[in-house]
């Protein structure tokens, strides 16, 4: 006969005592597992909410990005690449640069990989007095956009002005009564009016655009330009620094300026919207973290209280069991069963209560937590928690039964046997 | 075999000192059947438990087979008791959730070795328990309970059987069965110390030791 057999038989005999002890362990394990499960569900929900909000923000930003790409293109060139020695104040004062740089710079940029800029347009502009009409005008020479060698070709924003033709600004063609097809002379060279621009409300209204080569000849600046207009997309915002670095790495004798434009303002608005969305997500995360912390704190009070109550309850039940088995222990001691074996009678029982309680408590805890948390998922099966419960529940049960087991083992058999 | 030398056992009951045994000595030979007789409270059970190594006297010594029982460490004494002695009590002290067969086997929890199955069968047959082996104590008569307790005590053929008022709750028929079993055990070389206040029963022993209330 083994101690284990005696324990089995005793459990079968005193089912109520066993059931109450088991219930105590189950309640303790359920409280732990359900709290963990509910917190896990809370975390999953937080993740879900944040992911959803991030996705919404991304979709909104993607949509804005596309809008701004289109708007940017519609609003025209927003970058100005100028000679390095050009004073920017002069550019603001005169609306064009007074210094010059080689025309080949535009070819260098067009042949460079990984450029963040789009649509390169070299130009030569100068304010002159139109000798034939005695009017101050801006003469702008352009050769059309220079395509990038390493990028897919794009539809040009501005087409070249054919040789011998001109495009004339609104103020000029209105005041001079010029129409498309008219022939006009500038510095003794004849040009046919190809297009009369609509009013733009800026210096373009007194500008005449002609072929770059012809403008270089008229202005006596062969092979020179004084600006390269470019387009930078504001899809991602805040990349001017990178553009400057890129341009300066290939053209160190230049400087890059961004024109204060509606694109920039809108891009800033978009960036601000993105920032606000991010801040809103962070606020949501923080709020949920705070709420989780509150729940954790509450659990940190309730769970130990439940555990302590369970341990005390088991102690009382085992003490009752020891009292009930006084005669049994007395005779076992009389026939020579040692103290360790008497302790085993109780501790083995406590171990089984712990193991069975851990299994039942885990299943009920996960189930209960899922019901309370309103989420059923296999991801809630927490293996480390299961292992911890399987180890700790029997351990706690044994600790609770330890004192009663010691009392039982130290019981004086003579006291019991004398009581007859 | 059993040498009890000048043992004294004093109890404190509600502040009053009660001398259960006072400088008592007794010598029992191997194979002897000794009856201890006396009125209630004269210290019969105290003497029996002292011989059994369960109740340490305040003074004096108990020597069994040359071993001073109370000089041994507790665990050694427990093993010694398991190997040397068998106990039977008036209240049987059967384990309620075990059946007759399992109750008889209980000393196997302490024994170093296998249960002697032949002896187990012989005891069940001799004590008339064959039909009751699967019954729990609650389903047994007083006589059957006492016979079960006796079988449990004799399973590992102890040198000494300590019996305390074992016929107190039994009818004549059961007394005879129990006594016959005791005589069989004595014939096989066992030593019996029987505590009883039944004079007729005590007269069947080899020797009667009278204890008086102090």
| Interface predicted TM-score (ipTM) of this complex, two decimals | 0.84
Cα pseudo-dihedral A59, A63, A65, A70, rounded to 10? 170
Do A232 and A127 reside in the same domain of the chain?
A: yes
Q: At residue B174, does pLDDT exceed 70?
A: yes
Q: Does B138 touch chain A (CB under 8 A)?
A: no
Residue B185 and residue B30 in contact, taking contact as beta carbons nearer than 8 Å: no
Structure tokens at A387: 């292992």
Q: Are A128 and A89 members of one domain?
A: yes
**Structural domain span for residue A129:** 79-259
Residues A54 and A99 in one domain: no
- Candidate from A6, A328, A417 with C-beta closest to B49: A417
Cα radius of gyration (chain A): 44
Are residues B45 and A1, on separate chains, in Cβ contact within 8 Å? no
CA distance B205 to chain A (A): 23
Nearest CA in chain B to A336: B82
Question: For A330, which of B46, B93, B108 is closest by C-beta distance?
Answer: B93
- Same-domain check for residues A354 and A212: no
CB contacts of A336 in chain B (<8 Å) are 78-79, 81-83, 107, 110-111
Task: Judge if A253 and A295 occupy the same domain.
Answer: no
What is the per-residue pLDDT for A277? 80
How high is the pLDDT of residue B192? 94
pLDDT digits (tens, 9 = 90+) for B143-152: 899 999 999 9
Q: What is the pLDDT of residue A419?
A: 63
A279: in domain: no
Q: What tens digit of pLDDT does each residue of B53-110 get? A: 888 899 999 999 999 999 999 888 888 888 899 989 888 889 999 999 999 998 888 8
Q: Report yes or no on A276 lying in a domain.
A: no
Q: Choose among A1, A12, A413: nearest Cβ to B106.
A: A1
Contact predicate A86/A253, CB 8 Å: no
Partner-chain contact B109 A12, CB within 8 Å: no
Number of H helices and E strands in chain A, helices first, is 12, 11
B5 phi and psi, to 5 degrees?
-120, 115
As for how many domains chain A has, the answer is 2
Residues A236 and A292 in one domain: no
Paired sense of beta strands B191-195 and B33-38, if any: parallel
Rounded-to-integer distance, Cα B52 and Cα B81, Å: 7
Question: Which two structure tokens, joined as six digits, stand for A198?
Answer: 């609509």
For testing contact with chain B, the best of A13, A324, A331, A416 (most B CBs within 10 A) = A331
* A268 inside domain: no
Nearest CA to B24 out of B49, B53, B57 is that of: B57
Band the pLDDT of B191: cuts 50, 70, 90.
very high
Provide the shortest C-alpha distance from residue B123 to chain A (in Å).
17
Same domain, A302 and A357: yes
Give me A267's structure tokens. Answer: 């891009």
At residue A264, the pLDDT reads 62
> Looking at the predicted structure, is the pLDDT value of residue B159 above 90?
yes
Instruction: Tell me, yes or no, whether A34 and A154 share the same domain.
Output: no
Q: Is A274 part of any domain? A: no
Nearest alpha-carbon partner for A161 in A203, A188, A121, A117? A121
Q: Same domain, yes or no, for A39 and A141? A: no
Question: Does residue A112 share a domain with residue A247?
Answer: yes
CATH number 3.40.50.300 given to B2-211? yes
Q: Tens-of-pLDDT digits for all 420 residues of chain A?
A: 788 889 999 999 899 999 999 999 999 999 988 888 888 888 888 888 888 888 888 888 777 777 766 665 555 567 888 999 888 888 888 778 889 999 999 888 888 876 677 778 889 999 999 999 999 999 999 887 777 766 666 665 567 889 999 999 999 999 999 999 999 999 999 999 999 999 988 888 999 999 999 999 999 999 999 998 887 655 445 567 788 888 888 888 999 887 755 556 666 677 777 788 888 888 888 888 888 888 888 888 888 899 999 999 999 999 999 998 888 898 888 888 888 889 999 999 999 999 999 999 999 988 888 887 777 777 777 888 899 999 999 999 999 999 999 999 888 887 777 765
Residue A10 Cα, gap to closest chain B Cα (Å): 6
CB B95 within 8 A of CB B140: no
Alpha-carbon dihedral sign for residues B140, B141, B142, B145: negative
Q: What Rg, from alpha-carbon coordinates, does chain B have? A: 17
Residue A15 in any domain: the answer is: yes
| A252 domain-assigned | yes
Instruction: Flag whether A270 is in a domain.
Output: no
Are residues A92 and A203 both part of a single domain?
yes
pLDDT at A261: 57
B45 to A418: CB separation less than 8 angstroms, yes or no: yes
Secondary structure letter of residue A146 according to DSSP:
B
A15 touches chain B (CB under 8 A): no
Whether A212 and A346 map to the same domain: the answer is no
The pair of three-digit structure tokens given for residue A24, joined into one six-digit string: 């105590």
pLDDT at B169 over 60: yes
Q: Is residue A275 part of a domain?
A: no
């Amino acid at each position: 006969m083994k101690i284990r057999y005696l324990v089995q038989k005793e459990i079968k005999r005193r089912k109520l005592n066993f059931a109450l002890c088991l219930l105590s362990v189950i309640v303790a394990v359920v409280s732990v597992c359900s709290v963990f499960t509910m917190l896990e569900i809370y975390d999953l929900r937080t993740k879900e909410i944040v992911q959803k909000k991030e996705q919404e923000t991304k979709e909104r930003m993607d949509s804005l990005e596309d809008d701004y790409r289109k708007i940017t293109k519609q609003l025209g060139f927003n970058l100005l690449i100028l000679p390095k020695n050009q004073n920017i104040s002069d550019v603001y004062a005169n609306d064009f640069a007074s210094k010059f740089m080689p025309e080949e710079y535009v070819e260098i940029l067009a042949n460079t990989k990984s450029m963040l800029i789009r649509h390169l347009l070299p130009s030569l502009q100068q304010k002159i007095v139109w000798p034939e009409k005695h009017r101050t005008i801006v003469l702008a020479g352009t050769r059309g956009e220079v395509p990038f060698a390493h990028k897919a070709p794009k539809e040009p924003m501005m087409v070249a002005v054919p040789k011998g033709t001109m495009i004339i600004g609104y103020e000029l063609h209105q005041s001079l009564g010029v129409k498309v097809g008219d022939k006009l002379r500038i510095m003794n060279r004849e040009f046919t009016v190809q297009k009369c621009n609509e009013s733009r409300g800026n210096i373009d209204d007194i500008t005449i655009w002609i072929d770059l080569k012809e403008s270089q000849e008229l202005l006596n600046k062969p092979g020179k330009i004084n600006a390269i207009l470019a387009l930078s997309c504001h899809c991602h915002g805040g990349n001017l620094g990178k553009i400057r670095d890129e341009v300066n790495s290939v053209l160190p004798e230049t400087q890059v300026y961004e024109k204060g434009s509606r694109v920039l303002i809108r891009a800033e608005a978009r960036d601000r919207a993105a920032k606000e969305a991010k801040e809103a997500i962070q606020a949501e995360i923080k709020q949920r973290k705070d709420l989780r912390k509150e729940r954790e704190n509450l659990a940190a009070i309730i769970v130990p209280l439940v555990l302590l109550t369970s341990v005390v309850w088991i102690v009382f039940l085992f003490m009752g069991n020891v009292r009930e088995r006084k005669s049994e222990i007395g005779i076992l001691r009389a026939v020579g069963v040692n103290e360790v074996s008497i302790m085993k009678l109780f501790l083995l029982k406590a171990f089984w209560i712990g193991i069975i309680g851990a299994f039942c408590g885990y299943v009920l805890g996960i189930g209960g937590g899922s019901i309370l948390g309103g989420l059923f998922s296999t991801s809630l099966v927490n293996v480390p928690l299961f292992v911890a419960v399987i180890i700790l529940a029997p351990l706690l049960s044994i600790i609770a039964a330890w004192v009663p087991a010691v009392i039982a083992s130290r019981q004086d058999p003579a006291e019991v046997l004398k009581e007859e | 075999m059993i040498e009890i030398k000048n043992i004294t056992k004093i109890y404190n009951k509600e502040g009053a000192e009660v001398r259960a045994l006072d400088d008592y000595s007794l010598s029992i030979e191997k194979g002897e059947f000794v009856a201890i007789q006396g009125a209630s409270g004269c210290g019969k059970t105290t003497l029996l438990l002292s011989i059994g190594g369960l109740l340490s006297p305040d003074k004096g010594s108990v020597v069994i087979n040359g071993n001073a029982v109370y000089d041994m460490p507790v665990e050694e004494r427990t093993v010694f008791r398991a190997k040397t002695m068998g106990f039977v009590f008036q209240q049987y002290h059967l384990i309620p959730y075990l059946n007759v067969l399992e109750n008889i086997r209980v000393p196997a929890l302490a024994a170093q070795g296998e249960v002697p199955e032949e002896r187990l069968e012989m005891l069940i047959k001799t004590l008339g328990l064959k039909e009751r082996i699967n019954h729990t104590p609650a389903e047994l008569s007083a006589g059957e309970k006492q016979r079960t307790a006796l079988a449990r005590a004799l399973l590992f053929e102890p040198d000494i059987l300590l019996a305390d008022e074992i016929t107190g709750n039994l009818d004549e028929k059961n007394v005879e069965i129990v006594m016959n079993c005791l005589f069989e055990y004595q014939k096989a070389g066992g030593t019996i110390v029987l505590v009883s206040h039944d004079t007729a029963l005590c007269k069947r022993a080899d020797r009667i030791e009278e204890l008086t209330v102090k």
